[in-house]
Structure 1
């Protein structure tokens, strides 16, 4: 175990450890950066596509990933050697590409439903005198809510982590660290959050698939569903969640009237989420992120 730890750390990048007899945990770094997040997604997708014998799941996160395997069906030295080879190819080799898709997500920012919910919990907030979106705008140096919305919708986000409940996906905006929107979570969580609420905590945006508790700052609400475990709706026939890890999201501001129009179409199963299949190039993003983001958004349009 110690030898393999050194090999991953030195030869291919990453700190490997074991979780009992069924899990392998690999951490690329202790802090999350866009390049590492993209590398994690590439590693996870590559390992998943290999259909390794005895490996039942590959779970990517912001700066790490985890593998679950069946001990009786896995030759552990062979699996570790495979991981070593994949790391040497992807982490220290030429930047890879990811076959994924970019999804259009309309958002009614500063909507009445999230505002009603958040106002019930101001005693748990850093600034009881303002709403979540006002607070998020101020701590990020924006002069108005509109400036925050413009920044949030300007560049796409990358889904880096599936968490808590099916369909709840944390995503980070594909911009340099100094341009990231960052805001702390509540001092203590709410016990109420509307379904389809769009929230931001730390540097990550997520959408609540269903009503429930939560602690991130609420920015708005989307009229579209992000999960359908029955897979009966047209947008979910291939998969029960809208945002698998590695998906790109483009948030788009809409009016109250547009929200109700889209929601009515969704309820009637007549709305189709706008999606574009793309080949995301890690190298192109590292070379010129802003121009490449525009190309990605143009593919969606």
Structure 2
């Protein structure tokens, strides 16, 4: 009796191609685990930290300039030491990470919403609408990103009362980062929309008199989301860096609401006086967040590229 050939190994159909690609990239898995740890620890900051750095009544100058616990003179529970105001650095880093992540995420979502809307309108209608929106985008691209953000922050701070500007500092930063960022999304969506609107399914939708907004949202938009998803992931890290840069320059979060950029700015003033931990640990936290986001974005760009499948 003839032997039957063994069937070839089958790929598990229950696993999607995206998940299969994710498990095949150790760097993406490590970066995702690291980012999840950083995000969860910042969200659980009130449960993990011995001090609320936003509560000025909880600060004690007698606890100022304590080194990390493994250094000579270190004390528990100041795990990473304290700054010149007696603020626990571990607590400040977790609370500051929460502020930086929130501002970065909100600015990306705002820029994405504006860019998707304007890009769809420009690509679908074309003509003078396209020219007006894209020329306005060219004007924004011709100016340095950080200069536009500083200008918006300065104008908002000057227009608002002193107390209101500090209260709305996070919202001002979100707008300042989002305004020069929407152009990239708009250009990407516009290019895809100009290709999709010439296809038969869009012509059929127009033939049965489907409204333009339904065509853009339900037919064109789903076919343009792949490059947008990659761009949004990569720009999330850039938005966090932009917030840190603005706070470092003094036009971001106020000192009593520290973000990672604010902590780095304050610590930089005492870097050469021996208080190295005040600037090194916030800078390391910022690097870890941006590095993990960039690694995930690089993997996502390769995984969603049909030429590399």
Shorter-chain TM band: under 0.3
Q: TM-score, normalised by structure 2?
A: 0.24
Q: TM-score, normalised by structure 1?
A: 0.24
Could you say which structure has the higher helix fraction?
Answer: 2
Structure number with bigger Rg: 2
Could you say which structure has the higher strand fraction?
Answer: 1
